Amino acid sequence: MFETLLTLLGKASMTSNYYDQIRTICQQIETLEWLLTPIQFTPITHFDPKVHRVDQKANLYLQQASLDVQNMIAIEVAADGNCLYNSIICLSGNTASTPSELRVRSLIELVKNENFYHNRFAHIVGLVNETIKNIARNFSFSELYEIAALSNVLKCNMQSVYPTIDYRSDLNIMNNTFEHAQYSIASKTICLFWTHSESGIEARRNNAGNWSPNHFVPLLLPSHNSQSQNHLGQPKISGSGSTPTKATTKNNTLTQVRIPEFNADHNEIQPFQVPSTVITTTNEITTPR
């Protein structure tokens, strides 16, 4: 079901009025309460050698991150453009959710609370409407907006960990814990690491001598460490508890994040709608994935 909806959103992203098309589809999907039941996300916290594989390249990059996470283990996930969502699924410990579902839910969250996310991040990582277009395209690279949105989708704090490689002050926001709107002292926190699928030498060779991340992996505590993740100390950013009524944009330097390029056909086509066969599906289907 979510694969079908994401395909529909992906087609809408290719149109000249993509934002209006995507917003309309998201609003229609929101009416499908049987489909959007809250995700019960109880993240795992510790490495299990029987289940997880260590990402050796990411582990090397992790030694250039903040000291409080260097004891953690970078876990291997597929580097297919859906790596952020693959990381979430890895940490969930179940295979019920799919990258398509998480993309669709992230889109709905960003569209619904666009002003909040725009006010918070646009002056740092660019316009939210461009991100919305990219999320609608399966296997497109993810960035900061999705981390913040997923924290509210999953009702789980997200600690974003960025290595101090070619580091600049405008990258400080990449090393933050994003708290969801219903944050409480009992809220769980997961760690997501910005890394690269190639070694430092290869990454620079393929990027004019510069280093920038192209991959996300999850971080877990060693299996022998029974301490909770509450000790992880990063600056915190609260989630979308309320939506501002007016968006503002500051003329600051934008952080170069991983936004893919597409050869999209910008010819306008007829407005997309969620098929009636989807809207009229009965409540007998309670947990479609």
190: phi then psi, degrees, rounded to nearest 5: -115, 160
0.75 cut: is pTM over it? yes
188-244 pLDDT, tens digit per residue, is: 999 999 999 999 999 999 999 999 999 999 999 998 654 444 444 455 666 655 433
Higher pLDDT, 101 or 249: 101
Edge-to-edge strand order for the sheet containing 176-178?
A: 73-74, 215-220, 189-195, 157-161, 176-178, 236-237
Burial of 99 (0-12, 13-18, 19+ CB in 10 A): buried
Residues 6+ apart with CB under 8 A from 158: 147, 148, 150, 151, 177, 178, 189, 190, 192
Q: Kindly list the domain boundaries of the chain, sorted by start residue.
A: 40-255
Residue 181, pLDDT > 60, answer yes
Decide which of 3.40.50.1000, 3.40.30.10, 3.90.70.80, 2.30.42.10 is the CATH code for 40-255: 3.90.70.80
Q: Are 258 and 142 in contact (CB under 8 A)?
A: yes
